[in-house]
Structures are given as C-alpha cells and as structure tokens.
Chain A
Amino acid sequence: MDELELIRKVQAGDSAGFGPLYDAHIETVYRFIWYKVRHKETAEDLTSLAMTRAFERIRSFDPEKGAFKGWLMRIARNAIIDHWRSRRDHADIDDMRDLASSSDVERDAESARLLDEVRDAMKQLSEDQRDIVMMRVWEGLSYKEIAEALGKSEDACKMAFSRAARRLRELVPLAAYLLLINRAL
C-alpha cells in the first residue's frame, strides 16, 4: 500500500494505517528535532508532540498541497518554535556531538572534528537557512518537502540553500564543506 493509500485509510478512520506512516518518518522527525534542541529528553517530548499532532490533524492533510513528509516536518518545526517561545531560550548548534549511536570511536571522532569545523559557520546563517541546510543535508529532504515544511516556495528554498552553501564555502574548510554537500546531493 503506498503512502497516499495509507493516508486515505487513516483519514477514513482506520488508525492502524498510521503505523507504517509512523515507521517511515519517525527517525527523520526525531533527528531534525534533536539537531535543533540538542537534548535527548526534550527531543523525545517534542517528537511525541509532533507525531501526536500529525495523527490528530491528519484529516486536514491535503495531498494536492504537498508531500506528507513536508507537512510532517512543518508540524515538527512548529513544535520546536512553540517550545522555544515557552522557554524563551534559543537552541544553538553549539554542541552537535551528543551522538546516541554506538558507532566506533574513530568514526565518531572524525565526525565530531568535522562538525566542530562547521559549527561556527552554521551559526552565521539565519535560522531559516540553518533549517534548510539541516533538512537538505542531514535528512535528505527534497526542496519541495522543505518548502512545504517552511511554508515557502520551492524556488525560495533552493535559493536560500544556494546562498547558505556559498556562505559556508567561504567559512568552512573544504573537507567539512564536502561533508555537508555530500549529504545534500
């Protein structure tokens, strides 16, 4: 059953259809939220909130307006914004090294070194640009999905990513830049 059929099934009232949708997107949602808040428990709370909202509002999802993934990411992003507003602090990408995986030390160290190099550069981007870079680079969302998530046009997202990439290219050593671009393409 493809994604659209599953969505229609849930919209018709069959909550079991939400299972495969959940399985397909939960990791993407969690990772994006984690990159923004840098805290495991907060990321879990906000992921729970975002997925619950998606489930409760699924009848309002209109496939004519965009992809399900983009719609979901938008809900996740709004959950993050609500969280920041309630706490009056802003997440930073100061520490992107809180890795939960059990990957080998050498690989983690290499990634950590590279991430250190991009960290300061990413701070100099606007929040929208950072979100676009994270969604494109780390989560591999299409520009169409990113546009849906941010409520912008696809062209605006491409332009923003291009500008962000040029800026990063100026600020970040080649290796670190390629890490990002490798994941973007």
Chain B
Amino acid sequence: MIDLEELYALDPGLREHEAELLKLLARLEKAKPVVKADQAFVASLRRELLNKEVPAHHPFINYLLMPKPYLIGGGVLAVLLVALVAVTQMQGPGAPLAPAPGGALDGRVIALGPGAFGSLSAASLSADRAEAGALPPMAGGDLSVPSGSARPQSGGGGLMASENAKIGLIYPEPFQSYTLVYDGEAYELPAGEMDVYRRLKNVSGMAALGRAVAGAPNGVLNLSRLGALNLANFTVTTGGRDGYSVNIDLREARAYIGPNYEDGYIEDAYDRTYSLSDVPSDDRLVASARAFLSRFGVDVSAYGTPVVDRNWERFYIMERGRGNDAYVPPVINVTFPYLVGGETVTDQGGLPYGIGVGVRISDLRAVSAHNIAPQSFERSAYAVETDWNRVKRIAERGGLYGFWYGSPEGGTIRLGAPELVYMFMHHYDEAARQGMELYVPALRFELIDPPGDAVYGPRYVFVPLVKDILDAYDRGPDEMPPGIPRPLPVDLPVTMELKDESAE
C-alpha cells in the first residue's frame, strides 16, 4: 500500500484528492502490467555465461593499452604493444607497480658503496630553497642574494643592509622576525653514517619505442629521417566522457591518471561550496582511493599508512572561529607514502610524499592519481652530523629553507620535538647531467602555534642530517642567506592625479 504522505511530499496538490485516491489505489494494484522474459531465453543465456571463464584482470598499463580494433590501425597497434613491453620492463620483468611481495623493500633496493651519488653539496641543491617557496617574493625586486651577504638588521626598516644584496623594496617600519626556539631535550643523533636513497628510473624501452614511433605513419612528417629516436613521454586515453587519460613519462619512470577532458569529462565538483559536514570520514576517502588504484593494478600494500590531506582544516577552523566563511576543498588528496629505510618519505613541506589520489567529497569518486612510480631504489651511506648543537642552531634559524615571517612586535615560536624522517629532495648532478630523486634522512621540527600571518607559512622546519647538505646550506653563523622581511600592508601612497591638459 502506498504511503500517501510520501506521495504528497512529491506532489502536495494531490492531498485534496485523498478520498478518490484511496479508492483507486487498490484497483491499480491489480492493474499492474507484467512483462516477463522468455524463460527458455533466460536459461540459455545463463548456461552460456556460466560456461565462460571470467576474463583475467589486466594491470592498468595493459588495460589502457588494450587495442580496440575499431579504433586502432596496425601501425599504431605496434607502437602500443611495444610501449606495453617497455613499460613492464620499467619495473622489472613481470613486476607490478609495487615493491616486492611480502612488503620487503630489500629486494628492490640495490646497495651501493658509500658516497655513490657524489657530493650532495652541489650548488644546485640551493635551488630547492626557491622551489620550496621559502623566500617570499619581493615586489618589484629580485630574489637573488649571493652567499656571504651579511644578515640585515631586522626591525630597523629602511633599505636592506647587505651591500651585495639587490634592493627590492623599502619596507615599512617596524618589522621583527619571529624567533624560533627549541627548548626540548636533545635528540640523540645517529653516529657515523646513514643511508641516502635514490629512486631508480630504470626505463629500458625508450629506444625500442622510438623505433616503433618512427615506423608508424602519422600523416605529418617522416620521423624515420631523424635517425635514432627515443620516446620520452606518451599519453593514452580511453574513450568517452567517463574515460581516462594516462600519461607515462618514461624519462622519470612515472605515470599520471586523470579524467579524459578531451572527450567531454566535466569536473562539476567545484560548482558548489561545501561545509564540514560534507566531508566523508578518512576511512571512506582512503577506501575510495585504494579501490581506484586497485582498479588499475597499482599495488600499494607495501606503502606507508595512507594519509588524508587535512591541512586545509586548520584554516577552516581558524576562519570559522573568526566568523568568516571558510573553504572546504571539493577534492581531497589521499597519499600513499613511499617508505624507505622503514621511514615515511615527506616532501619539502613536511607532508607525506608518495602516490596521491584525488577523491571528490561529493560522491567519493576518485578522479585522478599522480606520482605513480616504481619503488626501486639504490642506497648509499653518507656521513651525518653528530653535533646536536649545530643541528639545533640550524633549526632555530629556520632549517633548510629558512623561516621568514614576522610582525611589528616580533615574537617567539616554539619548535616541537624533532622526529626522524626521510625527506624528498631533487638533486641535479651537473657532471653526469642527470636529475636525481633523493630521499635523505632529516630531523623535522613542527612549529607550535605560529601567530599571525605565520600560520600560513611552513608548518615544519627541516634539518637534513647529511653533512654534505648541511655544509652547503650553513656556511657559518653569518653566512646563512639573510632574512627578507615580508612587506606588511600599508596605507596606499598618495598619488597625484594626472592633469587633463586637453581641458586647458
């Protein structure tokens, strides 16, 4: 029997016909049409299906490269098949995109002699400072500050004091940098050496793919005239609005999966605003991300505990506390962090570094995955710092990337107890002309309750323990690159209105 209230909720105008409704309902129940499949057909189809084997599951690369006869001609098919071979060789024969079974990373880590990656004190390491965004931009100025510059006085305002520094801005007075203080117990530093890890980019198919591409007709130019080719990068798509676009970077041995925008996928997650109650639990977000990766055959069983990005939440709470509207992201990232040396790898911001999966909070649909890379490493021992006081001093100076926040009154920010992490660093070896993805041991200190604008700054300071790296960044008490105070908002300067000379 129909629940009439549900009917009225759907169409309130029916309420006035209730008496008639009750009479009709019983009769209508008897008048329902019936459509039924032919039972011989049903039984025959059932037999046919149950006699089949369930098709085998394909790793995501194989799935995406599965040729569709009505779309792909012979030449292109050859390219795809060679790509398939090259990509599987990228990880080792028959290996999925995951560490060795059983969670043991040892089988995927090649031990090299000490210092095998060369000196890590190369000047290019300093490029990470700018990339990390540690130094805030100077309006109208240049960020470059040569080493050896004296640290300018803070709080005095006026022009920057270093004679070698380029002058970019006149800062309003007053300004005091925040002082970082660690007053906890000394951390017991490891003695001697620790392993630095380098991710292997073991791509073997680039030349073979290049030959296949050269031979495949493309209707634009004759690639075979270019000689030996290496295929460095390619993208494949599955058709339809709900298909995928997958980019394989063979140089970096890394893959990205995303929606197929070319065929009409529209990301409508950003068409509305969300509240905190719209955000699913971490368990559900992780489950969605895990299922998405599993669908493509990416095995994360030996990665670290997945971490849901909740970094936005502290700003949400802060803004709501002020009575303001606050932002809830429509897509939340779930990271499956790499593990090296038994430790979680973090990025330069202190967040876990690994495979990231974007999950829409509106419907828990995972839409993309980035940083999918084989977990094969080389490791080499490097000398580490054993002087706790040096480590503490560098931490209180802002660590690897510095800390450049302050206020008119200045103040003190306490640093939390350090923890040992493996930090991702990109290093370019000039001699070998090769970029490396390194994971180096470091101490990470969290900033406790940063005040004012500093809350928008870095959450952590890092002190790498490898002496080579520390030496490159710390050239003595007076040789850390000087702090560049952030300009504070001031009243707009007085401007002179242009005189309209045509009126005269």
Which A residues lie at the B interface, using CB under 8 A?
Answer: 10-11, 13-16, 18-19, 22-23, 26-27, 30-31, 34-35, 40, 43-44, 47-48, 51-52, 55-60, 62-65, 96, 99-101, 103, 107-108, 110-112, 114-115, 151, 153, 162, 165-166, 169, 174-175, 178-179, 181-185
Count CB-based A-B contacts (< 8 Å): 135
With A26-B42, A47-B45, A185-B3 known as contacts, the answer to whether A111 contacts B50 (CB < 8 A) is no
Contact yes or no, A10 B37, CB < 8 A: no
What are 18 A-B interface contacts by the 8 Å CB criterion? A11-B54, A19-B46, A22-B50, A23-B46, A30-B42, A31-B37, A55-B54, A59-B57, A64-B288, A101-B34, A112-B33, A114-B28, A114-B31, A162-B10, A174-B20, A178-B28, A182-B29, A185-B2
How far, in whole Å, are A3 and B407 apart by their CA atoms in the complex? 61
- Of all chain A residues, the one with the shortest Cβ separation from B4 is A185
Given contact pairs A22-B49, A59-B55, A165-B10, enumerate 9 new A-B contacts (beta carbons under 8 Å): A11-B54, A19-B50, A22-B50, A44-B38, A47-B37, A55-B49, A64-B291, A100-B35, A111-B33
Question: How far in angstroms is the closest Cβ of chain B from A70?
Answer: 12
Best-buried of A99, A114, A178 by chain B (most CB within 10 Å): A178
How far, in whole Å, are A96 and B31 apart by their CA atoms in the complex? 14
Contact yes or no, B33 A115, CB < 8 A: yes
Question: How far in angstroms is the closest Cβ of chain A from B16?
Answer: 11
Question: For B53, what are the chain A residues with a Cβ–Cβ distance below 8 Å?
Answer: 13, 15
Contact yes or no, A14 B13, CB < 8 A: no
How far, in whole Å, are A30 and B35 apart by their CA atoms in the complex? 9
B185 interface residue (CB < 8 Å to A): no
Question: How far in angstroms is the closest Cβ of chain A from B490?
Answer: 47
Contact yes or no, A178 B21, CB < 8 A: yes
When the two chains form the complex, which single residue of A96, A107, A174 contacts B30, counting CB atoms closer than 8 Å?
A: A107
Contact yes or no, A178 B33, CB < 8 A: no
How far, in whole Å, are A183 and B28 apart by their CA atoms in the complex? 10
Which B residues lie at the A interface, using CB under 8 A?
Answer: 2-3, 6-7, 10-11, 13-14, 17, 20-21, 24-25, 28-38, 41-42, 45-46, 49-55, 57, 241-242, 287-288, 291-292, 295, 362-365
Question: For B57, what are the chain A residues with a Cβ–Cβ distance below 8 Å?
Answer: 11, 59
How far, in whole Å, are A112 and B54 apart by their CA atoms in the complex? 42
With A62-B291, A110-B31, A179-B28 known as contacts, the answer to whether A15 contacts B38 (CB < 8 A) is no
Question: How far in angstroms is the closest Cβ of chain A from B60?
Answer: 11
Question: For B52, what are the chain A residues with a Cβ–Cβ distance below 8 Å?
Answer: 15, 55
Question: For A65, what are the chain B residues with a Cβ–Cβ distance below 8 Å?
Answer: 288, 291, 364-365
When the two chains form the complex, which single residue of A10, A101, A182 contacts B35, counting CB atoms closer than 8 Å?
A: A101
With A62-B291, A175-B24 known as contacts, the answer to whether A27 contacts B37 (CB < 8 A) is yes
Question: How far in angstroms is the closest Cβ of chain A from B68?
Answer: 14
Q: Lowest 4 A-B CB distances belong to which pairs?
A: A111-B33, A30-B37, A101-B34, A110-B31
